Amino acid sequence: MATEQLVDGFGRVHRDLRISVTDRCNFRCTYCMPEEGMDWLDRSELLTFEEIERLARVLVERFGIDSIRITGGEPTVRAHLTVLIEKLAALGTDLAMTTNGSTLRLMANDLCAAGLNRLNVSLDTLQADRFLAMTRRDDLDKVLDGIDAALDAGFDPIKVNAVVMRGENDDELVDFATWARDRGLIMRFIEFMPLDADEAWTNRQVVSLTEIVETIGAVYPLEPVERTSAPASRFRYLDGSGEIGVVASVTQSFCESCDRIRLGAEGQFRNCLFAHDELDLRPALRGGGSDDELADLFRGVVADKWAGHQINKVHFIRPRKSMSQLGG
189 binds ligand SF4 (CB under 6 A): no
163 binds ligand SAM (CB under 6 A): yes
Residues 6 or more apart from 118 whose CB is under 8 A from it?
A: 94, 95, 96, 97, 155, 157, 159
Q: Choose the one of ligand SAM, ligand SF4, none that binds residue 28, judging by a C-beta under 5 to 8 angstroms depending on kind.
A: ligand SF4
73 binds ligand SF4 (CB under 6 A): yes
Stretch of 28-36, 175-183, 257-265, 267-275 contacting ligand SF4, by CB under 6 A: 28-36
Smaller CB distance to ligand SAM: residue 269 or 274? 274
Q: Map residue 299 onto helix, strand or coil.
A: helix
* Binds ligand SAM (CB under 6 A): choice among 32, 173, 263, 281: 32
* Binds ligand SAM (CB under 6 A): choice among 30, 103, 125, 161: 161
d(C-alpha 51, C-alpha 29), whole Å = 29
* Binds ligand SAM (CB under 6 A): choice among 195, 206, 246, 297: 195
* Binds ligand SAM (CB under 6 A): choice among 53, 74, 168, 266: 74
d(C-alpha 135, C-alpha 96), whole Å = 23
Smaller CB distance to ligand SF4: residue 60 or 250? 250
Question: How many other CB atoms sit within 10 Å of the CB of residue 270?
Answer: 22
Smaller CB distance to ligand SF4: residue 93 or 122? 122
Stretch of 27-35, 142-150, 255-263, 307-315 contacting ligand SF4, by CB under 6 A: 27-35
Name the residue among 239, 240, 234, 257 with its Cα closest to residue 305: 257
d(C-alpha 253, C-alpha 75), whole Å = 27
Smaller CB distance to ligand SF4: residue 41 or 284? 41
Contact 277/300 with Cβ under 8 angstroms?
A: no
Smaller CB distance to ligand SAM: residue 32 or 151? 32
Smaller CB distance to ligand SF4: residue 16 or 74? 74
DSSP one-letter code for 79 = T
Tell me the residue type at 44: S
101 binds ligand SF4 (CB under 6 A): no
Site string for ligand SF4, 111-130 (x = CB under 6 A): -----------x--------
d(C-alpha 86, C-alpha 108), whole Å = 14
Shortest Cβ 163–ligand SF4 spacing (Å): 8
Bridge-based pairing state of the strands 243-247 and 186-191? parallel
Q: Choose the one of ligand SF4, ligand SAM, none that binds residue 139, judging by a C-beta under 5 to 8 angstroms depending on kind.
A: none
Q: Residue 195: which H helix or E strand, with range?
A: none
Question: Which residues does residue 279 pair with via DSSP β-bridges, in sequence order?
Answer: 269
Site string for ligand SF4, 6-25 (x = CB under 6 A): -------------------x
Name the residue among 254, 250, 187, 190 with its Cα closest to residue 222: 187
Instruction: Give, rounded to a whole angstrom, the gap between the first and last alpha carbons of the chain.
Output: 29
Residue 175: C-alpha distances to residues 185, 245, 249 (Å)? 13, 15, 23
Stretch of 6-14, 66-74, 221-229, 263-271 contacting ligand SAM, by CB under 6 A: 66-74
190 binds ligand SAM (CB under 6 A): yes
d(C-alpha 96, C-alpha 161), whole Å = 14
Question: How many other CB atoms sit within 10 Å of the CB of residue 96?
Answer: 19
Smaller CB distance to ligand SAM: residue 8 or 243? 243
User: Which residues would be at the binding site for ligand SF4 (CB under 6 A)?
Assistant: 25, 27-29, 32-33, 72-74, 100, 122, 323-324
